[in-house]
Amino acid sequence: MSTPQRVLVLNGPNLGRLGSREPDVYGSTSYAGLVERCTALGKELGLEVEVRETNDEGEMIRWLHEAADGKLPVVINPGAFTHYSYGMRDAASQRTAPLIEVHISNPHTREEFRHTSVISAVASGTIAGFGIGSYELALRALV
């Protein structure tokens, strides 16, 4: 039996507050619920899913380097880093496996500053607006 493909699901600032942060925008699923859903679907799909969250841009960049060095696929919700972190964009551009950008809400239906992603141009694809289901669609796309 082969070893499951390892996948990193990386989450940027404030995503650890899911369930309590603006539930009308981000839904009522808690961060723990997100982790549970991603790891359960991963098992179903034959993936070893590791879900991480940080409010620290440097840590996110180190994780992207880890993924590039290990040839690991990434599902990433950069949070607010989406719109301005060129350091994170440069780290994501070094990817050696698919990288899928996800967003719980649809940034294009929100404030104008959210309409631009510096990550999209270096991602394999972007999935937005399907709530927590955006992560599930991304994991399925990796398979």
User: According to the annotation, is 108 in a ligand binding site?
Assistant: no
Is 106 assigned a ligand-binding role in the annotation? no
Nearest Cα neighbor of 122 from 62, 72, 82, 69 is 82
103 catalytic, yes or no? yes
Task: Confirm or deny that 83 is annotated as ligand binding.
Answer: yes
* Residue 104 assigned to a binding site: yes
| Gyration radius of the chain over CA positions | 14
The active-site residue out of 65, 103, 108, 115 is 103
Between CA 120 and CA 44, with CA 69 as vertex, the angle to 5 degrees is 70
Which position among 26, 31, 65, 86 bears the catalytic label? 26
CA contacts within 13 A on the Cβ side of 137: 16
* Annotated catalytic residue 135: no
Cβ neighbours of residue 32 under 8 Å, at least 6 residues apart? none
- Tell me if 7 sits within 8 A of 142, measured CB to CB: yes
Is 90 annotated among the ligand-binding residues?
A: yes
- Region of 136 on the Ramachandran plot (φ > 0 left; ψ -120 to 50 alpha; else beta): alpha
Residues acting as catalytic residues: 26, 103
Q: Mark the binding-site residues for substrate, compressed into ranges.
A: 77, 83, 90, 104-105, 114
Q: Mark the binding-site residues, compressed into ranges.
A: 77, 83, 90, 104-105, 114
